[in-house]
Structure 1
Amino acid sequence: MMWRRRLLALGLAALLGATAMPAAAQPLVYLVRHGERLDLPTDPGLSPVGEARAQRLAAMLADAGLRAIYTTPYRRTMAHAAPTAQRLGLTPVVLPARDTEALLARLRAHGSGEAVLVVGHSNTLPAILRGLGYQAEVTIDEDEFDWLFALTPGAPGGAAPALVRLRY
């Protein structure tokens, strides 16, 4: 567990060190897809493997300085965010999965010194990343549940944000 925190810290330190210009008024955004789900036809919750993954996320982000957590109204995203929210004493903000603009407006309202978590879906996270200025293509396969993305803000004057991709 400790090696994962160190890896995350090292990756972010390297990334932040590489950005010479001051950060724009946008938070550090962590994005994850919900964990593995139960095999149910409608609005499935998390499987035991997905629940364990949600616990790992909570441990990894315990000291990340999160100020807010955003999820969609689906059981699997809310359940994935729950351990992190409980650990940090935060109440997740639930927004419709299809309303990317509302989420982006909320994210942009956070300052550059803040960090937030977004728990979404394989088909919503790429659009969120694009909306935050990351233009390289990001795809998440249907059987991938273990990506943790950390998007650092771009610099004023048009420098693009940088993305760190970790597996957890």
Structure 2
Amino acid sequence: MKFKSLLVLTLFLLFSTLTAVAQQNSDITTFVLVRHAEKIDDSTDPDLTPQGYQRAERLAEMLQNIPFDAVYSSERIRTRETVRKIADQNGVEILSYEPHEPAEEVERLLHSNLGKTVLVSGHSNTTPFFANELLDREHFEDKFDESDYGNLLIITIDGDGESKLLHLRY
């Protein structure tokens, strides 16, 4: 429990700082990328497990003080349910994006969200490559392990196109 409290406090301070910097410099765009929480089975479009809903709740608690301007998800139930509460907390609808077209989608999302803070919910086989496109370099060589649901990627891109990555676990 102490670890969770410390992690939440650390994330709050980090995001508060990032938000303050972004508000002072509207040229900074911040993307927070997550993989969907635990899915109930391997069918085409499964819902989350009870543990997956708990993880989604924990994510919403961790990010509750971050003002997201937009929330994106693939069209799958599991990705949408992972970020539903965060979208509700921010009074925004969950917008769709095509995770299998990272180059085109990054260009589109960057263009429509300059200077904003954006949450993107994806998949183990798409999120790392979406991050690579945002970073404009190959940081992730492979997809995330299928059993790994705890990656939280924060990518900031300044007006000159310089990007930075903070890779956290939750």
* Number of the residue aligned with 2:110: 107
Is 1:120 the counterpart of 2:128? The answer is: no
Displacement of 1:90 in angstroms is 1.4
Structure 1 residue ranges, 4+ long, deviating more than 4 angstroms after superposition = 10-16
Instruction: Calculate the aligned-residue CA RMSD, in Å.
Output: 2.6
Q: How does 1:15-34 map to 2 (within 5 A)?
A: 25-34=27-36
Displacement of 1:111 in angstroms is 2.5
Count of residue pairs the alignment pairs up: 161
* Number of the residue aligned with 1:68: 70
Residue segments in structure 1 that go unaligned for 5+ positions in a row: none
Displacement of 1:25 in angstroms is 3.6
Q: What TM-score do the two structures reach when normalised by structure 2?
A: 0.81
* Number of the residue aligned with 1:7: 10
CA deviation string 1:37-91 (max 9, x = no partner): 0024221110111111111111111111110000000110011111111222210
Further displaced range: 88-97 or 29-38 = 88-97
Displacement of 1:11 in angstroms is 4.7
CA–CA separation in structure 2 for the residues paired with 1:56 and 1:143 = 18
| Residues 68 and 115 in structure 1, CA contact (< 8 A), matched pair in contact too | yes
CA–CA separation in structure 2 for the residues paired with 1:117 and 1:45 = 20
Cα distance change of structure 1 residues 115 and 44 upon mapping to structure 2, 3 Å threshold: same
* Number of the residue aligned with 1:35: 37
CA–CA separation in structure 2 for the residues paired with 1:68 and 1:103 = 14
| Residues 67 and 115 in structure 1, CA contact (< 8 A), matched pair in contact too | yes
Q: Choose between structure 1 and 2: higher helix proportion.
A: 2
| Residues 71 and 77 in structure 1, CA contact (< 8 A), matched pair in contact too | yes
Further displaced range: 65-74 or 82-91 = 82-91
| Residues 68 and 116 in structure 1, CA contact (< 8 A), matched pair in contact too | yes
Q: What TM-score do the two structures reach when normalised by structure 1?
A: 0.82
